[in-house]
Amino acid sequence: MKKTPFLFGLCLLSVQLFSQTNGKAPQLGKDKIEAVIAAMTPEEKVYMLMGLGDANWSNPSSGEKTVIVSGSAGRTWNIPRLGITPAVVADGPAGLRIDAHPEKTLSFYCTAFPTSSALASTWNTALVENVGKAMGNEVLEYGLDALLAPAINIHRNPLCGRNFEYYSEDPLVAGKMGAAMIRGLQSNGVGTSLKHFAANNIETNRTIINAVISQRALREIYLRGFEIAVKEGQPWTVMSSYNRLNGFYTSENYDLITTILRNEWRFKGIVMSDWWGGADAVAQMNAGNDLLMPGCAQREELLKALKNKTIDEEVINRNLARILTFVQQTPRFKGYAYSCHPDLKAHAQISRLAATEGMVLLKNDFNTLPLKGIKKIALFGKTSYRFIAGGTGSGEVNYEKAISIKDGFINGGYQIVQPLEAIYTHFIDTILTNSKKENKKQLVDFHTELPLKNEQIQAQVKGSDMAIITIGRNAGEGSDRSIADFSLTTTEKNLIKDVSAAYHAAGKKVVVILNIGGVIATTDWRDDPDAILLAWQTGQEGGNALVDILKGLVNPSGKLPMSFPIAYADVPSAKSFPGEPKENPLNAPYEEGIYVGYRYYDTFKVPTAYEFGYGLSYTQFLYSDITLDSKTFSDKITVTLTVKNIGKVAGKEAVQLYLSTPQTEMEKPEQELKAFAKTNLLKPGESQQLSFTLDSRLLASFHSGISTWVADKGTYEIRMGASSKDIRLKASFDVPQTILVEKDHNVLYPNRLFKELSIQKD
């Protein structure tokens, strides 16, 4: 964003204005917020409604230091004469993102935690809350006031470039994980920003694209996760998204930000825009988008509007009151003396534990894993030597060192065979040396794989006990992935095929590790290796965590929070993604409606490669003794069951409750996830009883004709599953009369006609 000389002038004027102190002026924290607002000049009011500009900008004329923490994403204005301190905010979902220049003072490394998709794969909200606690401690101790996280948009399509920052294709998982993360982070007395509100599922043309979504799909899928996270997490702030939704920018949409978020869900904090998001500052203010980030660009426009009275001063005062309430909560306002020394060692351990629990074992023929009698390992694939800890963009973390898969094996006491290591190291060095780019951080991740000759592969077999092949993928905000990126390249497939053939001929095993941020194709290569472990992008301890699983020190208990389709064409939104027209999309009709992910595959009987909720373990669990506290629903129903470890090693199990609801004139998906829980670590022979309570809202679907959540009368089936397909126990209950559970506002209708997918034939 370019700054005009006028804006520079305005910024300068403001610095002078704010440096004049007045002993009698009301003080934030001591006097009423209304009194502080009443004492503000029009300029001060307008400046306070937005950040101080691009975080990297500092005022050249005054020398004023606008960047308080290097690498933070932005800050709010400070007005010393009124006791208003700045609030400093930074990204992001996988850990604090600030600059780390070891040569500079006050520049620090942070811990890279597993990305959100990996965290969701744990199905363990207590663990996610704990990760949030550790992340939030870095926010506090490095002098930040709020973290721009969690991000909980739905994985609508596997090609969305930001899926790694998001949790799941299911709103319950996304909402519960988001709420847990918020609770953990905010337990430090720092803020969060739940983002990107809402329907930010496409990165192509992200600042102009219009997501066209039916009211039902919005309420049940795209808003539902936010509703859960707001109600159960109480974030200090929410970030509106870049996209348009049903015709309007989300940051300019009163119905979204005020009617739904504030009036229906009782959100109490501030709404901030995404960086330079939206187009009309006055509309944003009116909608209730209190804070414009990173700010500065809209000062002139808002000041003019205030002076011309084309914006009601009451609106400005309302938004200011919210911003000042937020500022008052911050550690900086409270004078917290941050140490700059969070316990990075302890946080690395938390990152490692979370990483192991998020890894998903997709295949394990002949109990290949855990490894037995293996000493020497042949490591194939460039990603084996350059681990991808996280995605690119604002979801990235500046960590000190990521443990590669190679390092993980060495730390675990294994030997890595030569000359393979030398071949790959040379390949990686060549990629880095040949590139003219200054920032070489992710070059290797995006580079094509090294083709190996058969002799090169054969040469490894004798000297190694087994082969590991790592497949890597990276992506990030600002663009979506391509179908080519979803598929494995011919070189990658050949590598898997040839290595598998060579090792199998010698009676040795092959394991494929997936160090990826989003869903990829698996069915055209998965038959070749003996085992497949989906490691995800698991933060800086990835290599160690992975070897903990491969060795059997930790029993894998991760399960998929999204479906892995057989082919990209099977994805319900494949035809319309990213939008219309395809090359330069402006509109994105969500034609699949409520049928996102497993809701589609299960209802339309489309087979998947790995279904939602899938994941193997080194042990087995028996589900038994399902009971309901009543056969008839009045206002709640509780289901209880027992899960027993009947295998030979200790393990945890992610237990999933699906509900099949009566089909009426309002069509329903085949089943929907309504609750889930992770057992404790169960020793062999040990059992645990789990209970889940469903209220009427969980039974209900959104009837857009009457804008009401309705639980239809009829028989409901509870399905307790180890995955969405592996249903172990069933029980049913009746709802004797249709229940009108909650009437909501009839808002956010699509601005274009489009045909939504339906199971009812025309």
Q: Which of 204, 394, 474, 538 binds ligand BGC (CB under 6 A)?
A: 394
State the binding string over 454-483 for ligand BGC (x if CB under 6 A, else -).
-----------------------x------
Cβ-based neighbours of 690, under 8 Å, separated by 6 or more: 640, 641, 642, 643, 655, 677, 679
Q: Which of 275, 503, 564, 692 binds ligand BGC (CB under 6 A)?
A: 275
Instruction: Return the number of the residue (276 or 427) whose C-beta is nearest ligand BGC.
Output: 276
Contacting ligand BGC (CB under 6 A), which of 133, 176, 195, 703?
A: 195
Query: Among residues 148, 534, 550, 711, which is the contact residue for ligand BGC, using CB under 6 A?
Result: 148
**Catalytic-labelled residue, pool 274, 407, 498, 602:** 274
**28 lies in the binding site for ligand BGC (CB under 6 A):** no
167 vs 633 by CB, closer to ligand BGC: 167
Please name the residues in contact with 482: beta carbons below 8 A apart, sequence gap of 6 or more.
159
Q: Which residues ranging from 614 to 633 are in contact with ligand BGC (CB under 6 A)?
A: none
CB of 725 to ligand BGC, least distance (A): 34
User: What is the smallest separation between the CB atom of 195 and ligand BGC, expressed in angstroms?
Assistant: 6
Q: Rounded CA gap, 291 and 323, in Å?
A: 7
Counting contacts by CB under 6 A, is residue 91 touching ligand BGC? yes
Minimum CB–partner distance for residue 272 and ligand BGC (Å): 9
Binding mask 226-265 for ligand BGC (x = CB under 6 A): ----------------------------------------
Contact 653, 682 (CB under 8 A): yes
Task: Find where tokens 């857009």 sit.
Answer: 704
Q: How far is the CB of 163 from ligand BGC (least distance, A)?
A: 13
| Closest of 110, 98, 113 to residue 150, by C-alpha | 113
Q: What share of the chain is helix, strand, coil (3-state, %, to 5)?
A: 30, 20, 50
Looking at beta carbons only, is 241 or 587 nearer to ligand BGC?
Answer: 241
**Beta carbon of residue 211, minimum distance to ligand BGC (angstroms, whole number):** 15
Count of residues near ligand BGC by CB under 6 A: 9
Query: Parallel, antiparallel, or unpaired: how do β-strands 248-249 and 244-245 relate?
Result: antiparallel
Q: Are 201 and 169 in contact (CB under 8 A)?
A: no
Q: Tokens 């409750």 — which residue?
A: 657
Name the token pair of 42: 């029009």
Contact between 602 and ligand BGC by CB under 6 A: the answer reads: no
271 belongs to the binding site for ligand BGC (CB under 6 A): no
CB of 61 within 8 A of CB of 35?
no
Identify the bridge partners of residue 579 per DSSP, sorted by sequence position.
none
The distance of closest approach from Cβ of residue 161 to ligand BGC in the complex, given in angstroms and rounded to an integer, is: 11
Question: C-alpha 43: how far from its chain's center?
Answer: 37
Helix extents (H) in 514-576: 542-551
Report the relative pairing of strands 244-245 and 270-272 from DSSP bridges: unpaired
The alpha carbon of residue 210 and the mean position of all alpha carbons in its chain are separated, in whole angstroms, by 21
Number of H helices, E strands in the chain: 22, 28
**Any residues with CB less than 8 A from the CB of 576 and at least 6 apart, and which?**
588, 589, 590, 591, 592
Q: Rule CB under 6 A: is residue 274 a binding residue for ligand BGC?
A: yes
Side-chain-side CA neighbours of 337 within 13 Å: the count stands at 0
Residue 145 or 477: which CB sits closer to ligand BGC? 477
**Least CB distance to ligand BGC at residue 243 (A):** 11
Is 73 a binding residue for ligand BGC by CB under 6 A? The answer is yes
Residues in the chain: 762
Active site residue 527: no
Check residue 547 for interaction with ligand BGC (CB under 6 A).
no
Task: Please report, as residue ranges, which positions from 476 to 515 form the binding site for ligand BGC (by CB under 6 A).
Answer: 477
Q: Which residues bind ligand BGC (CB under 6 A)?
A: 73, 91-92, 148, 195, 274-275, 394, 477
> What is the set of active-site residues?
274
